[in-house]
Structure 1
Amino acid sequence: MLPPWAYAEPASHAPQPAPLVTVGYDETFDLFNLLDNLADWLPGYTSAIYQQDWERRFGLDAQDRAALEAYARFRQRTSPMARGDDAARPVVDRLFAGSDTRVGDPYTRHFQDAASFHAAAKAAIAAQAPADRELLRRYYARFEPRARELLAGAGRFTRQQDALTRELAAPEAAAFVARMRTFYGTEAVPVFQVRFVWWPYTNRTQAKLRGGAIVLFSPLGVDDDWGPIVLHEYAHFLSAGQSAANRETLAAAFARLCPAALALPNPLNALEEPLAIYWAQYRFEQEVRGQPLPTTTSWYVQPHADRAAKAIAAAFPADRPAPALAAGPLLQAAASVCE
């Protein structure tokens, strides 16, 4: 029997435990993702490769560009993702994943688990200010037909879904996830969705947390080692569910140990990211796959987070019990790389 960590179609009609994560493909969300990224309204959150590929395939005339710019202005004006006020946020929300990790972008939520793209677009448009509704109708009328044409051959990532579901359904993976949940103190968590979407790159993949889902960006026919990637984002999802009191206590203690953390371009790389790396990359490799993660290799693209994760691993090796998420030795290990 599969553990509730990973979902697969049950073999019988017997009651099944509620899944904690579902791996799948949502055509409506894939279409929305393409159209939302097409305007590249928030670089870093969106990806310019969609517009570049579209222009190569179909071209972009002056009216197309005007429509893209109007949509971009709408999203920049209405999305909390574009707030640009990170330095003014409380210390706790700069050092730990915030509530938006679970809530996400309100406009995007209309297109997650929707009955159809048209139903989702109708609801999303109706929820906007009257002045924006016609803008959005024109945007989708202009770009949706070719977007559908583009995705028609994208497939449903069936092979990737099956491989990832099997790995996460293994008993050792389920036990590992239970230990992660205990570490973060978030035993009761909503279902975490893993959704594949197409993107135009042919030789690279990407993963991003979008509210209560992780979006796996993949070209056709390309496989990746998705297990640690999903668990890394799941760690952020769990972290965002910590009690407010615990988050504030930990953030205040860490800021005293490592005041330089708040001067980093992204303070999450001081503690939030290292903890996710420590669990999803380091401990996962050892505890689930039975192989060490060499310290001579890069564990993460951001140098400070990489050093901090390795410092935590040196203090709390994977062949010993995991530390408690509390002020004391764990925070001291993470802070040991602060300058």
Structure 2
Amino acid sequence: MQIKAAVTHGLGEDFKLENVQLAKPEFDEVLVRIVSAGVCHTDVVARDLGIAPFPIVLGHEGSGIIERVGAGVTDLQVGDPVVLSFAHCANCGHCLTGHPTVCDSFNQLNFGGAMDDGSRRLAQGEESLATFFGQSSFATYAVVKSRNAVKVDADVDLALLGPLGCGIQTGAGTVLNNLKPDFASSLVVYGAGAVGLSAVMAAKIAGCQHIIAVDVHENRLELAKELGATHVLNGKNVDVVAEIKQITDGGSHYAIETTGVPLLIKQSLNALRPLGTVAIVGITPEVTLDIHNDLMAEGKKMVGVIEGDAVPRVFIPQLVAYYKAGRFPFDKLVKFYSFEQINQAFADSACGISIKPVLKIS
């Protein structure tokens, strides 16, 4: 079938809305009419750093309606509203023990440009196009493995839900699935973007006593307070480590670092109390640490967390339930754009105008 998709032809190029051919769903696959797709930093990395092959259709926070099911699909049907999440094999030891975010084939399936059988579903004429995260949701339609489609409540605005498939799942899941902070503990969030603010909301759900947001943009810090932060720190104006130690009487129990900025990585470690843990979720360059003083001497832990260590079919419906109950108001992060405004949405995200841009596609 012919669809409209935002095609990226080369490194750093703008998105171009073009006609693309999409193959029919094969065994254990579904055809989804995309309603909306979130804009995520990982799309920027793929476009600008070439971590996936070109030409490609990016997009990995899609939501939509199932319009066709392939053979072998038993748990989804035509008309189901779904959120699309990351690709995983469902067969390796990590997938089978509830950790698909570290699937043995994660990089191949999400960044390799093809489906798990090595085939591609997208083409322009004789040229095939790479798929991203097993979905390529910057398009009017997508074909995905049924296990990557999460059925959600029909009474929630489906256009809002796409970001639950990656960015918001990452922030909230890192807190609720990985760090699992003790009641009345302290947690610091470095970076008050979509991932960080989702972590703030999750920390409130978890019952943390001190929830501290660190950023350099006052508007984001104000929103952090609205969403549950008990304290906010502007890194341009204060000694972040000293302030955290004063607020928490010795350092935070937990931290989540979302920015990938080496200075903040070190701050997140230095502001922990002994035996504290920091989770690193941002794409981070080389960082120089004094392992003895920054980490080992006080028994601290630094862990990498991908996609919030979530099982999407379990965790995304939980987040929707919290949203419906008024306890996870992630809609306050969202700004909608038309599909034709995709390049503007990315520009607004880059300069901080929009925390979580979401493209309304159909």
Q: TM-score w.r.t. structure 1 length?
A: 0.23
Choose between structure 1 and 2: higher helix proportion: 1
User: Whose Rg is larger?
Assistant: 1
Higher relative contact order (CA 8 A, sep 6+): 1
- Give TM-score, length-normalised by structure 2: 0.22
